[in-house]
Amino acid sequence: MSVAESISRLSKFGDVSLISLKNNLVKDQKMSDLVVVVREKVNSLPKEKSYKTDVEIVLYVCKLVENFILKSDNVSKKEFVIQILCSVLCLDLNEIEICKGMIDFLWNNQLILKTKISKVVKNEVVNLIKKKVL
């Protein structure tokens, strides 16, 4: 039995999309989605190189977490970044300590920043124009 079949049968009785996740379930789903995005990005990279202690991967994950995890989510961003890196890259204890040091370095040198509002607005406008034109 597939999800599509279940949704199809339930749609005879009502619109399933009107019921949404709330509170902790939304937070858990967002965190799971971030792990999927990072895993997909890492899998798209060449396999010849190990990215376990690559500062660019750590910075990428830090920026994702900084932009998508809110203070109200009550999640330690640093620990969540380490959790993502461990699940995607299978880090050992030494590599975890190296990554923690990299995160501290990136944070202290103000390299982990939220995306500027102007960049977000520009991206939304470009996407809207693309939808209208295409």
Per residue in 105-121, pLDDT (tens digit) is 999 999 988 877 877 78
Report d(CA 105, CA 90) in Å as an integer: 22
Q: Token pair for residue 66?
A: 């900084």
Q: Within a domain: residue 67?
A: yes
Q: How many domains does the chain have?
A: 1
Kindly state whether residue 10 falls inside one of the protein's structural domains: no
130 vs 111, which has greater pLDDT? 111
Residue at 84 is within a domain: yes
| Conformation bin of residue 74: beta by default, left when phi > 0, alpha when psi is -120 to 50 | left
Nearest to 115 by CA among 67, 56, 70: 67
Give the structural domain span for 27: 23-133
Any domain includes 128? yes
User: Does a structural domain hold residue 14?
Assistant: no
pLDDT digits (tens, 9 = 90+) for 72-87: 888 899 999 999 999 9
Q: What is the pLDDT of residue 101?
A: 96
Is the pLDDT reported for residue 10 higher than 70? yes
Is residue 17 domain-resident?
no
